Structure 1
């Protein structure tokens, strides 16, 4: 089973407007309300693309029940571990204007109680080496350490797409998959403009991660696989970006889910890149038909394992 974990879920209000001016009265024309959180995004996209998975979330009971129609519509297999004390799930506001203005207001992350932690650990201890756990977003480091210890002991493959300044600590647990973006790479590994991306990915692999997928935003992505091969993927068409929400979650989850299923690096990278490209062209996450229509625009090439390649200097 492929599982995703969202430790700090949210309810996202996504506003679409023609333009936005600060210190002015602004009016919007459309809005949508969706459940938010990187693991939720990943599970929704995987479900739409036909990959069986199970989401684990930490909504409060009232919010989770209020979203029942959404879970049913998406046919999402989700386990919610609610706090045994009443807590309200955070609300986020994301505004996208046609004049390219954009802002986000994100609420404070959820606190995970000992009751919730113990229920999660019970689930993780029931897994085996045929399962895969994708951990995304913000999670307290003590809990993440305990989770990684359980998964390593149980020989369960897992992936990380996490917000932490201490990533090397968790790479030591040998995650099967790690998906940073270029900004996280610069920050966490203190890179300068003279550092080489490919060499940095090799150093990360030496620290423990088997497969590393680096998101470059509009420039595509670079993969270093477990056989130490480099691949670059990009889209050869102009995309009208509506929202970048969930693009990285789409890229990482679709790649690793398809790779676990097929062991075909190239096809998995093409599919993941198509899905991510489609997601940014939508107001929310991609659907299968739209995602597959982008495959014809995706280009991929195998890179020479050359750490002096000037094309990949930051």
Structure 2
């Protein structure tokens, strides 16, 4: 069984207008409201690629009801814990460039966290838990680390977060972490500008405890560091239409293929393909798009590249 955890979900209110006039009344040209949050996005991608998962986390108020119903409408399986207050609304304003305005998270109580840990105590060996997204300010930043330590033996965990939450989670030895190059740089107070940099600092993350590390670098490709080898994969050719959810699609694409093959290299290739397919479309990737883009992605070892930077 696969479980995704979204501690900080949102209703994403996506607004498009051609000419924004600040200080005046504007009417949008197009708007969309969708259930958002990184773990929620992973659940959506997994479904599109043929795998069911259970979506865990916290929701509240009318916005939380919208998220639950939206997932049910897509034949997904939400099992959220209800909290007081409303789930946040994130505004994504697009008018040539994209501006994001993220809302405030509801208060998550200690009792709410205990309920989540109780849910996860029911997992068994062979299950996979994906922890993705930011941690609300009302929760200890060690939450992902604490979850990892509490999981039964044999449960594999994937973590996609940033900052203090990522730093602490890595020490608890997850199966996989997936920072992008900005998040990896922030972790060490440096700027990641090349594959060489991504390899150097990705290896540091592995030394801290993570079994496997994927560093996504947008249009410059991605790096996978395992216990046996370092792999690089290029990004296929296409026009980026939407960056929202691309990183979550990398996780979903990787996991879908890993479940099927237990082959890290093939899973890595599918992860890049899924992330690219989502970026090249206005929604999330489809299985057909992922399969087609895989043909353009060459995965090679760092040694085959000559250990060079890009």
What TM-score, normalized by structure 2, do the two folds share?
Answer: 0.89
CA displacement, residues 120-150 of structure 1 (integer Å, 9 cap, x when unaligned): 1111111122111111112232433321220
- Judge conservation of contact 1:7–1:110 (CA < 8 Å) in 2: no
Q: Which residue does the alignment assign to 2:91?
A: 93
Q: Partner residue of 1:119? A: 115
8 A contact 2:35–2:71 mirrored in 1: no
| Shift in alpha-carbon separation, 1:248–1:88, aligned structure 2, 3 A | same
Q: 1:113 to 1:166 in 2, by over 3 A?
A: closer
- Match status 1:13 vs 2:9: no
Task: Give distance in 2, aligned partners of 1:269 and 1:49.
Answer: 15
Q: Look up the SS of the partner of 1:250 in the other structure.
A: helix
Shift of 1:32: 1.0
Correspondence 1:280 to 2:279: yes
Aligned pairs (5 A) from 1:81-230? 81-83=81-83, 86-97=84-95, 99=96, 101-139=97-135, 140-151=140-151, 154-165=153-164, 167-191=166-190, 196-227=197-228, 229-230=229-230
Distance 1:231 1:23, change over 3 A: farther
Cα deviation digits, residues 26-53 of structure 1 (max 9, x gap): 4432211101100000100101110221
Residue among 286, 308, 311 paired with 2:309:
311
Instruction: Calculate the aligned-residue CA RMSD, in Å.
Output: 2.4
Alpha-carbon spacing, 1:26–1:287, altered in 2? closer, same or farther (3 Å): farther
Mapped contact 1:64–1:80 kept (Cα < 8 A): no
Per the alignment, do residues 33 and 145 of structure 1 end up closer, same or farther by CA in structure 2, a change over 3 Å counting? same
CA gap 1:22/1:282 in 2 versus in 1, 3 angstroms: farther
| Structure 1 residue 22, shift from structure 2 partner | 4.6
Aligned to 1:235: 235
Mapped to 1, the partners of 2:232 and 2:142 lie a distance apart of: 35
Cα distance in 2 between the residues matched to 1:263 and 1:135: 20
Matched residue, 2:248: 249
1:78 deviates by 1.4
For residues 249 and 188 of structure 1, do their structure 2 counterparts lie closer, same or farther at Cα, with a shift above 3 Å needed?
same
Distance 1:198 1:272, change over 3 A: same
Q: Is the 8 A contact 2:224 2:231 kept in 1?
A: yes
Task: Give the secondary structure class of the aligned counterpart of 2:244.
Answer: coil
User: C-alpha displacement at 1:54, in angstroms?
Assistant: 1.2
Shift of 1:18: 3.3
Distance in 1, Cα, partners of 2:143 & 2:167: 16
Q: Is the 8 A contact 1:96 1:242 kept in 2?
A: no
Distance 1:70 1:267 in 2: 32
Greater displacement, 253-262 / 61-70: 61-70
What CA distance in whole angstroms lies between the structure 2 residues aligned with 1:305 and 1:209?
Answer: 24
Gaps of 5+ in 1: none
C-alpha distance in 2, partners of 1:185/1:19? 35
